[in-house]
């Protein structure tokens, strides 16, 4: 790789180190492991930078980070990424009980940082990555679909499910609705 | 997941086009249950964005990367300190890093990378790392937040997306307009059990009718957020390789413009938990999604009974080892004509 392409890499990709680390950290849920994943991803990104055809480098980099995180988990904690979507559906069916009432919406709005982080961390990984990319990175569906390599329709259904699960977790305990 | 959730989430995510957005506002005013669900989703969104942790880059990672990658990482973190969501500790990271110009320019300076400043060099004279990054956008929470505000509506934002939208231009733009009209005129058609009811449901297998309902949801989703097409082309020699590169089967792709069914392009979608090709055709002002995937084992040749699900007509057919599922608001007769062209009954 030439000095010139090193410079272009530095200019295009490195500004997104913060996003790369945040995604890796949420996916592997460990600060030390996340640094390894980011380093691995950055090396891959540098290696494949010639294949980057311009546009927004953030989704391009995040796709590499996401793949690196899944590869890392696949080698060390395969159970975390082997959840089939239909199994997730079963868990979700429970989350869909009852329409929320106003007080519930208020309580969700008041959830503190610890509760919110714990609720996100507890999501199955495909829901977690979708919610992090949407709510923390604020990416549009189109970019999330590219990063997670699924159709946009799947992004939509995963987001919807992730939110239902989060709402259920953060909803206060009320009669007939154990949390 | 029901279609109301689709509406709520797409509206929340600023992915509805203007017409659909208007229709949604009207529904909110008239449907308290929908309003309740909307309020909860908005409260959740507000809590997540205000208080979920955005993990700051740990001290030392940037320096370690600069060593490993052989490039400067001086621009690697959010330059403006990260805003409200960063932990206070994040600021400390800013003390450690390398000098942009010196390091990228000549490797000799890397030995000195311990303890150099983290200045945001927007005006570096040798390389425009800073300014280039600014132009590229997405540098900081603040920048991002600004770019995402309603001013940049879904439509304009997506229009800038290039390849995703070429179908918007020229004559085909009319279809987009008609979709918007559809959403305004008849939002009820998207609500479960309102427009179509079960009148068309006859003796079809449970699996087939479940799949038909999924296909209607997939079709609705694609139209709702206005991106029914991932690869836009009327050229089957463009669409087919695009699909076969992304699927583990090769769907038949044919443009039927001479017969009145113009191929607009295709996307991937998921039916019954499996990735399916979705070919998109236009007939008059109607958009048709044709889902194609290898026929599941034991699937009968297809009842061919047209179903009506939530106002959409659905035709399922198995032919040549492929399961076809056509969904559209097009009338059943003309939809069946397309099915006959794609998968002739008794053919092969």
pLDDT by residue (tens digit) across B143-174? 344 333 333 333 333 333 333 333 333 334 44
CB within 8 Å: B76 and A15: yes
d(CA A11, CA B204): 58
Does pLDDT of A136 surpass 90?
yes
Work out the minimum CA distance from A65 to partner chain B, whole angstroms: 14
Chain A closest CA to B97's CA: distance in Å? Answer: 13
Question: Which residues of chain B make contact with A102, given a CB cutoff of 8 A?
Answer: 36, 39
Which tops the pLDDT comparison, B138 or B300?
Answer: B300
Distance from CA of B314 to the nearest CA of A (A): 18
Residue numbers in B near A19 (CB within 8 A): 138
d(CA B253, CA B235): 9
Put simply, the answer to whether B51 touches A100 (Cβ < 8 Å) is no
- Shortest distance between the Cα of A150 and any Cα of chain B, in A, equals 8
Indicate which of A3, A13, A14 best probes the interface with B, i.e. most B CBs within 10 Å of its own CB. A14
Contacts of B270 in chain A (CB under 8 A): 150-151, 153-154
Provide the 10 A C-beta neighbour count for residue B155: 19
Distance CA A35, CA B61 (A): 7
Residues of chain A contacting B46 with CB distance shorter than 8 Å:
109
Burial B286-301 (b: 16+ CB within 10 A, else e): bbbbbbbbbbeeebee
Q: What distances in angstroms separate CA B201 from CA A33, B196, B197, B204, B209, one per listed residue?
A: 53, 10, 9, 8, 8
Residue B200 pLDDT class (50, 70, 90 cuts) = very low
Nearest to residue B276, comparing CAs of B229, B206, B240, B324?
A: B324
What's the rounded Cα separation, in Å, for the pair B181 and B247?
33
The confidence band for B72, taking pLDDT boundaries of 50, 70 and 90, is low
Backbone phi, then psi, for A177, in 5-degree steps? -135, 70
Q: How close A68 gets to chain B, by Cα (Å)?
A: 16
Rounded Cα distance, B280 and B267, in Å: 8
Chain B residues close to A161, C-beta within 8 Å = 1
Q: Which of A6, A156, A169 to mutate to test the interface with B (most CBs of B within 10 A)?
A: A156
Question: Chain B partners of A142 at a C-beta cutoff of 8 Å?
Answer: 158, 161, 164, 227
B159/B297 Cα distance (integer angstroms):
41
Between A85-94, B20-29, B190-199, B339-348, the lowest mean confidence (pLDDT) is in B190-199
Q: How far apart are CA B132 and CA A12, in angstroms?
A: 7
Cβ B82–A18 below 8 Å, yes or no? yes
Q: Average pLDDT, stretch B68-87?
A: 51
Q: Do B47 and A38 touch (CB under 8 A)?
A: no
Distance from CA of A144 to the nearest CA of B (A): 12
**Averaged pLDDT for residues B303-321:** 84
Give CA B117 to chain center in angstroms. 41
Torsion of CA A38, A44, A45, A48, to 10 degrees: -170
Q: Compute the half-sphere exposure of residue B254: CA atoms within 13 Å on the CB side of its CA.
A: 11
Cβ separation A9–B71 shorter than 8 A: yes
Say if the Cβ atoms of A100 and B55 lie within 8 Å.
no
Q: Which residue has the tokens 């996307």?
A: B267
pLDDT given for residue B236 in this prediction: 84
For B232-265, what is each residue's pLDDT tens digit? 788 888 898 888 888 889 889 999 999 999 999 9
Give φ, ψ of A89 to 5 degrees: -60, -40
Nearest-CA residue of chain B relative to A141?
B15
pLDDT above 70 covers what percent of chain B? Answer: 57
Which residue among B62, B128, B158 sits closest to A17, beta carbon to beta carbon? B62
Query: Out of B199-213, B278-292, B327-341, which region has the weakest mean confidence (pLDDT)?
Result: B199-213
Sign of the four-CA dihedral B21, B25, B26, B31: positive
Question: What pTM was computed for the model?
Answer: 0.61
d(CA B73, CA B51): 28
At residue B305, what are phi and psi to the nearest 5 degrees? Answer: -80, 120
Residues of A in contact with B5 (CB under 8 A): 160, 164
Q: List chain B residues with CB under 8 Å of A9.
A: 69, 71
User: B161 and A163: CB-CB below 8 Å?
Assistant: no
| Burial of B11: CB neighbours in 10 Å, binned 0-12, 13-18, 19+ | buried
As a whole number, the mean pLDDT across chain B is 67
Q: How far is B136 from chain A (nearest CA, A)?
A: 7
């Amino acid at each position: 790789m030439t000095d010139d392409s090193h410079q272009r890499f530095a200019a295009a990709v490195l500004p997104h180190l913060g996003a790369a680390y945040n995604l890796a950290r949420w996916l592997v849920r460990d600060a030390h492991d996340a640094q390894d994943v980011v380093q691995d991803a950055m090396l891959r990104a540098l290696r494949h930078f010639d294949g980057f055809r311009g546009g927004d480098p953030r989704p391009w980099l995040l796709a590499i980070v996401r793949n690196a995180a899944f590869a890392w988990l696949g080698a060390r904690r395969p159970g975390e990424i082997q959840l089939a979507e239909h199994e997730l559906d079963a868990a979700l069916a429970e989350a869909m009980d009852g329409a929320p009432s106003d007080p519930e919406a208020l309580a969700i709005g008041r959830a503190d940082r610890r509760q919110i982080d714990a609720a996100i961390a507890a999501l199955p990984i495909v829901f977690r990555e979708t919610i992090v990319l949407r709510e923390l990175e604020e990416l549009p569906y189109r970019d999330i679909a590219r990063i997670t390599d699924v159709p946009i329709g799947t992004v939509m259904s995963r987001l919807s499910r992730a939110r239902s699960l989060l709402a259920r977790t953060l909803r206060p305990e009320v009669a007939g609705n154990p949390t | 997941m029901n279609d109301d959730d689709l509406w709520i989430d797409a509206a929340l995510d600023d992915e509805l086009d203007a017409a659909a957005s208007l229709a949604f506002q009207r529904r909110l005013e008239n449907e308290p249950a929908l309003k309740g669900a909307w309020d909860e989703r908005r409260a959740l969104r507000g809590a997540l964005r205000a208080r979920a942790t955005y993990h700051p880059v740990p001290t030392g990672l940037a320096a370690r990367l600069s060593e490993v990658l052989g490039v400067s990482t001086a621009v690697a973190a959010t330059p403006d300190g990260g805003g409200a969501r960063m932990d206070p500790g994040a600021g400390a990271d800013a003390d450690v890093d390398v000098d942009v110009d010196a390091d990228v320019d000549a490797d000799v300076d890397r030995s000195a990378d311990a303890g150099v400043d983290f200045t945001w060099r927007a005006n570096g004279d040798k390389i425009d790392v800073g300014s280039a990054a600014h132009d590229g956008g997405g540098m900081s929470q603040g920048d991002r937040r600004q770019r995402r505000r309603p001013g940049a509506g879904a439509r304009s934002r997506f229009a800038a997306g290039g390849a995703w939208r070429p179908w918007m231009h020229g004559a085909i733009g009319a279809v987009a307009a008609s979709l918007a009209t559809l959403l305004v005129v008849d939002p009820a058609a998207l609500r479960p059990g309102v427009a179509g009811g079960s009148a068309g449901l006859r003796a079809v297998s449970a699996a087939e009718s479940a799949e038909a309902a999924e296909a209607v949801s997939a079709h609705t989703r694609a139209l709702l957020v206005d991106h029914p097409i991932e690869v836009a082309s009327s050229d089957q020699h463009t669409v087919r390789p695009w699909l076969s590169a992304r699927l583990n089967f090769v769907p038949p792709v044919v443009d039927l413009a001479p017969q009145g069914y113009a191929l607009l392009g295709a996307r991937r979608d998921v039916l019954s938990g499996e990735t399916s090709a979705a070919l998109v055709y236009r007939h008059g002002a109607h958009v048709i999604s044709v889902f194609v995937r290898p026929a599941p084992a034991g699937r009968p040749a297809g009842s061919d009974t047209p179903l009506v699900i939530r106002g959409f007509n659905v035709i399922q057919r198995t032919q040549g080892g492929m399961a076809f599922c056509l969904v559209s608001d097009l009338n059943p007769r003309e939809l069946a004509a397309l099915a006959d062209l794609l998968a002739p009954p008794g053919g092969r």
